[in-house]
């Protein structure tokens, strides 16, 4: 997936109806790279999500490692939310990931008001996992 969070934000601003925005979120999920079956293991599963969500983290670099994430879900909208989180966090240095305010981004998209409580909790769980991986990468780099 090569869509940036800025492109997603711009696309959201062009869509007036939430039904159209949900369709767009689903399309984002469809654009995710194929998730390897071998990565669908308990260690990669994100706890706290009603749907099944898997997330892998690849680290490169030493001082401030760049983290690349790959993810998937068994639910269409949640898969799209995974895509949004990857656009926000993947390919960035761990220090930048820790400084990124995911809640503010979700507010700019309007998602904070339009997700069910279960999906919002799952999204927070994804962010928590991503930030935990960033903290771990920085600790190991030190």
Q: List residues with catalytic annotation.
A: 49
Buried b (16+ CB within 10 A) or exposed e, 21-32: beebbbebbeeb
How far apart are the C-alpha atoms of 50 and 48, rounded to whole Å?
7
* Cα–Cα distance measured from residue 112 to residue 103, given in angstroms and rounded to the nearest whole number: 8
> Six-digit token pair at 122?
């799952």
- CB neighbour list of residue 122: distance below 8 Å, 6 or more residues apart: 46, 48, 49, 50, 51, 53, 78, 81
- Cβ atoms of residues 1 and 33 within 8 Å: yes
């Amino acid at each position: 997936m090569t869509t940036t969070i800025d492109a997603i934000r711009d696309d959201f601003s062009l869509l007036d109806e939430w039904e159209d925005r949900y369709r767009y979120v689903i399309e984002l999920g469809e654009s995710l790279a194929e998730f390897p079956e071998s990565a669908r293991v308990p260690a990669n599963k994100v706890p706290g999500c009603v749907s099944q969500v898997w997330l892998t983290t690849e680290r490169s670099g030493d001082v401030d490692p760049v983290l690349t994430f790959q993810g998937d879900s068994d639910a269409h909208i949640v898969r799209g939310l995974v895509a949004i989180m990857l656009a926000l966090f993947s390919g960035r240095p761990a220090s930048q990931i820790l400084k990124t305010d995911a809640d503010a981004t979700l507010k700019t998209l309007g998602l904070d008001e339009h997700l069910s409580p279960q999906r919002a909790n799952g999204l927070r769980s994804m962010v928590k996992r991503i930030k935990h991986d960033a903290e771990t990468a920085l600790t190991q780099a030190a």
